[in-house]
A and B are shown apart, each in its own frame.
Chain A
Amino acid sequence: MRMDARIAKVKEARTLIQAALAGCDTPQIEMMLRNADLELHLVLWNLGEAVPLRPELEYPDLEQGR
């Protein structure tokens, strides 16, 4: 897989995770999803993508968490 295709897949995965996070009422699952999103954010960061410093800065609609 080319790097740009891999990056696109990671971005898709983040969109799915953020959809799963919306309205989550189970602390364990919400924390796991946030951690999963953090890891994917770091994938993009370490592939030189222009992402913000922290993943939370990309979804301000969600309540702030860890």
Chain B
Amino acid sequence: MIDTLAHALGRRSRESRYWNEYAETLPRAKIEALQLHRLQGLAHYAYDRSPFYRRKFDAAGVRPVDIRSLEDFKHKVPLTDKSEFIDLQLESPPYGPTAALPADFIAHHCETSGSTGKPLAIPLSMSDTIRYGETWVHGFWAVGIRPSDSFYFAFGWGNFAGFWSAYWGARRLGCKVISGGGLDTKGHIQAIQRLKPTVLISTPTFALRMAAVAAEMGVDLRRSSIQFTYHAGEPGPTALPAMRRQIEQAWGATAGELLGIAEVDAFGPGCPNGDGVHVNELDCFTWSLDPETMQEVGDGAIGENIITSFTNNAQPLLNYRTHDLVRRRSGCSCGRTWIKFEGSVLGRTDFMVTLRGANVYQTAVEHLIGEIPEVSNAYELVLTREDENDVMTVRFEPLKSLAGDPGAWPAIERRLSDHIHQALHVRLKTVALAPDSLPRYELKTKRIIDQRPKDFRRALDR
């Protein structure tokens, strides 16, 4: 007798290498025809339902019916940027004119981490959360995670969209979910020993932090129940080979990674080859732009990823500037036809570093430094690697008028550190230096001093 409760899926599905082979191997011509149809529908949807998009389209003199090709969409639909959404939301919280669905449809409120200054509010409908979670599952399945696995979530359950969407994915796959919310690092390790999950979800840096604490506790995580670690939120195993090696050695597990943007989608499940991510082209449309010339760049060239999401219907994102620099490739030896970003995100158009899971932008830190009146415009941001974490130190010169009063400098250091912490939720080291001690530059001032080992920098930051 066949036990119908033995497996969540039938034999043929269980043996598949893909979560959805049909979708993941669609011929490019079919993908592009489908994307055009969906982009046309999305343009009408956004124009009809979102005052923000109606204004943008009208100002550009474009109507949804003008979109007759992918080229039309790329070049006629105006680019959008996060700051536009944030400004409008601040004027009329929580979502302002950026929303395209009424409150009845909003099933989950999320936010970005706020690392660029103010968090972006992200309304999501029920179907948005399903689509968002499903893309994670493409990645989970590709590395071998199955419904019989159990997920341990090593992060706090705030409003940040990133790992909520991983949770939606684990639910869609039908796996057991174990929350690590509220526990400290030691507590996470004890919970893993007690509950025996097989998949760890965390930032890659935190996986290494857990390994370091486990070693102090005399726990060998290679002997734990964890068979897979899966990461997002900062450069991980597909972007940094050294990170993969360290995680896999510390945990004795297979490490995977997904590229997502909180307000967009978890759009880039990791390639099983481990050297990049594939873009879920059924749920989004991407192209690349040279941020200097604003001209489109093709396959193999590095450009800024411009993305349009079909996932977020509650707050549509059309031709959205991600500021992520990527190298696109068509085709992959893994068999997927979805566009691949080799090495995931290679760098940022505005320099960004991830500190203890929080994305910290050079521009945001510079803006905050400028708000402390006793700090001059002579400063630099020094990046180092300490205890498996990236660390940023702000070295700055107080105003020359304070040169003769070094006793006042520690208070300025504290004030600057507190100000940054309050705005970005991450504490940076701040060091006051004697006025005129930092180097001056004739042309562009070098603000970033990156002293991290090469292996721990994104490709374009090396």
**Which residues of chain B (307-347) have a CB below 8 Å from chain A?**
310, 313
A21 — which chain B residues lie within 8 A by C-beta? none
Asked whether any CB of chain A lies closer than 8 Å to the CB of B8, the reply is no
Could you say which of A42, A46, A64 contacts B127, with CB atoms under 8 Å apart? A42
Could you say which of B34, B102, B130 contacts A48, with CB atoms under 8 Å apart? B34
Within the complex, the shortest CB–CB distance from A4 to chain B, in Å, comes to 12
Q: Are A45 and B22 neighbours in the complex by a CB distance under 8 Å?
A: no
Number of cross-chain contacts by CB at 8 Å: 45
B interface, size bucket: 20 to 34
* A54 to B131 CA separation, bound complex (whole angstroms): 11
Count how many chain A residues have C-beta atoms less than 8 Å from C-beta atoms of the other chain.
18
Asked whether any CB of chain A lies closer than 8 Å to the CB of B212, the reply is no
B26 — which chain A residues lie within 8 A by C-beta? 48
- Minimal Cβ-Cβ distance residue in B for A48: B34
* A50 to B33 CA separation, bound complex (whole angstroms): 10
* A66 to B313 CA separation, bound complex (whole angstroms): 13
- Minimal Cβ-Cβ distance residue in A for B107: A66
Check A64/B34 contact, CB under 8 A, given A48-B23, A54-B313: no
* A41 to B128 CA separation, bound complex (whole angstroms): 13
A42 — which chain B residues lie within 8 A by C-beta? 127, 130-131, 134
* A42 to B42 CA separation, bound complex (whole angstroms): 16
* A54 to B104 CA separation, bound complex (whole angstroms): 15
Could you say which of B22, B130, B310 contacts A38, with CB atoms under 8 Å apart? B130
Asked whether any CB of chain A lies closer than 8 Å to the CB of B20, the reply is yes
Within the complex, the shortest CB–CB distance from B45 to chain A, in Å, comes to 6
Check A50/B131 contact, CB under 8 A, given A65-B104, A66-B107: no
| Residues of B bordering A, CB below 8 Å | 20, 22-23, 26, 30, 34, 37-38, 41-42, 45, 102, 104-105, 107, 125-127, 130-131, 134, 282, 310, 313
| Residues of A bordering B, CB below 8 Å | 3, 35, 38, 41-42, 45-48, 50, 52-55, 57, 64-66
